Each structure stands twice: as structure tokens, then as C-alpha cells.
Structure 1
Amino acid sequence: MPTFDVVSEVDVVDVKHAVENASRELNNRFDFRNVEASFDLKELVVTIKAEGGDFQLQQMEDMLRAAMVKRNVDPKAIKIDEKDIHRGKSFSRIVRFQQGLDTLLSKKIVKLIKEKKLKVQASIQGEKVRVTGKKRDDLQSVIAMLRAEELEQALQFDNFRD
């Protein structure tokens, strides 16, 4: 029976390269001359630091998003903390990369699949959703339906087997 898995993962190497590219761009930008600003990556958590305040943090966030798009990392994979950290004259913002599907999103995916009344079964297995069906065409229509939906997290389709 054909199956596939719905997962939400980011490539750690691509994230690392995106952060490095954003750091290089930061060093070359004229508006960041003589300003203490940096990107720090530790275990899929990026800390954006700048002296200038919210405006410069927003510019650095845009640089990071642009670098991520160039490295084919989906911008939906990031979650930005709403509250900035202010210490002295330094401001920082935490950007987290989401790995795996949480239970609420997994249940929402299963519900969407069941609402379409396709001849497939969806089951939650840890941080992924496994979809099983008799026909390959049914599975491909599930993939197309999930891509068309506006979900709050980036989805990938793994382990497609006939």
C-alpha cells in the first residue's frame, strides 16, 4: 500500500549557511558601520543583537529572511519571540526554527484530510503524520490539497513509497 509522511523539518546546514550569509551582508552594509550588531546561531535558535533598537533589529530580521529564501529554507519555519530583550544600549530578538509537527497541527492535518473524504487514512506518529491509501493518485491529491492550504508551519512530504 502506498504511503507517505507529512513532516516539518529544516535542514540544519542550510540554516547555518543562511545565518552566515546574513552575517556577511551585515558586515558589508553601510548603515551598520560602527554599530555593534551580530547573528548568533545555537541549536536552531538565532539571537539577533543590535545597538540601534527596533528599526535595526527589523532590518536584520529581513536580512535573515532573505538569506533563508536564497538557501531554500521556508520562512514559515521560523518563529520570532514577540518580546525583544533590552540590556543597556543593546537590543536582541530570538528567532527559533520549528522542527516537527505539534499535536494541534497534526490533528488539524488529519481533520483536513478526513473532510475531503478521500480514500486514505491519516495517523499521527510522533512528530509526523503518516498517510496511507490504496492508490497513488489519492496520495498525490492529498499532497496537492495540503500545499494549497494556508497552514502556519512549513510542510514537507517524505518517505513516499509505492
Structure 2
Amino acid sequence: MASKDCSFDVVSEVDLQEVDNAVNQTGKEIAQRFDFRNSKSSLTLEGDKITILADDDFKLKSVIDILQTKVMKRGIGLKNLDYGKIESASHGTVRQIVTIKKGISKEIAKDVVALIKGTKLKVQAQIMDDQVRISAKNKDDLQAVIGCLRQNDFPVELQFVNYRS
């Protein structure tokens, strides 16, 4: 029997339906909370951008806290949220745009491959668009790579999918 390579893909995916649910839940909580009564605070999701509008910086921080709580409960990593700068908006309000990061950029993919090569395990790492494919003859080496990647802090949440043995 010929030995077969095992492999898995390292990706950074975000379920936009879950993000939409988190945004809707945040909006409902803002509408119900006493400290937001008579407030112009709101948030909208358009594509992969969340626009947060609030009366002042303090209320903006409160909306972001609520959003982060809802996003975490839905299983989305906070590293996948990229916060833009706070801007002045009309009627004395402030606005912040939060971009949802999807996929692994080329720079992060190169860091992942460099880390894997530094482990000296007998694995091959290959960059494919916005993911990295890891393959090896030994399943234990793949498990070691997953453990190593989980211990390191990358600017996006990594998921391990498509495991083939």
C-alpha cells in the first residue's frame, strides 16, 4: 500500500450571516438600554463594513463593547474586526467604520509558512490565494503544526479546515 499525504488548510473565514445577527442583536440592545434613550446611536452592516454612529466617544465605546460581546458569542474572533479612525459626523455625532477581515493576506501567509519551516517538521506549506495548505506523510506532524500555529499570535483568527488523511 502506497503512503498517502495527509493535509489541511489554514484559513481565516468569517460567517457574514453571524456578523449580521450580531449587528442586529446589538441594535436591539441599544434600543432597549436606558443609557441609550433619546440617543442617535446606531450601527449598520453593508458588505464587509460595519458603520457605527453615536452621540459621542463614550457612547461609541459602549456600542463597540456591546458589538464585541455579541460577535464573540457568535464564534467570530475579534482579530477579524479592523477598527477605522473615529470621525466627526453630522449633528455633533461621531462615526467609526469597522472592516471585517476575511482571508489570509500574503504577508500573514508568509509568516505562517516561515513559522512552519522553523519547526523543522517534515511538512510542506503552500500558499494558495487566501489560505495556506499544509501537507505531510505523518498525521502527528500535522497535529504538531496546528499546535504551533495556535500558540502564536497572528493578526487574524486562524481556522483549520479540509483535513484529509
Q: Alignment partner for residue 8 of structure 2, among 4, 9, 17?
A: 4
Deviations 1:88-116 (A, max 9, x none): 31211000110111111000000000001
In structure 1, what is the Cα distance between the partners aligned to 2:69 and 2:141?
A: 35
Cα displacement (A) at 1:86 = 3.0
In structure 2, what is the Cα distance between the partners aligned to 1:82 and 1:131?
A: 36
Structure 1 unpaired stretches of 5+: none
Q: Is the 8 A contact 2:51 2:98 kept in 1?
A: yes
Q: Secondary structure at the residue paired with 1:159?
A: strand
| Number of the residue aligned with 2:102 | 99
Kindly report structure 1 stretches of 4+ aligned residues shifted beyond 6 Å: none
Deviations 1:96-142 (A, max 9, x none): 11011111100000000000111101010100000010011111111
Cα displacement (A) at 1:33 = 0.2
Deviations 1:33-61 (A, max 9, x none): 0011111001121000012x111111100
Q: Which amino acid aligns with 1:7?
A: V
| Number of the residue aligned with 2:117 | 114
Residues 83/38 of structure 1: CA separation in 2 closer, same or farther (3 Å cut): closer
RMSD: 1.0
Q: Which amino acid aligns with 2:72?
A: V
Query: What is the TM-score normalised by the length of structure 1?
Result: 0.96
| Number of the residue aligned with 1:47 | 51
| Number of the residue aligned with 2:157 | 154
Q: Alignment partner for residue 128 of structure 2, among 125, 130, 138?
A: 125
Deviations 1:66-85 (A, max 9, x none): 00111111111100003434
Identity level (%): 39
| Number of the residue aligned with 1:22 | 26
Q: Secondary structure at the residue paired with 2:43?
A: strand
Structure 2 unpaired stretches of 5+: none
Aligned length: 161
Q: Alignment partner for residue 90 of structure 1, among 82, 88, 93?
A: 93
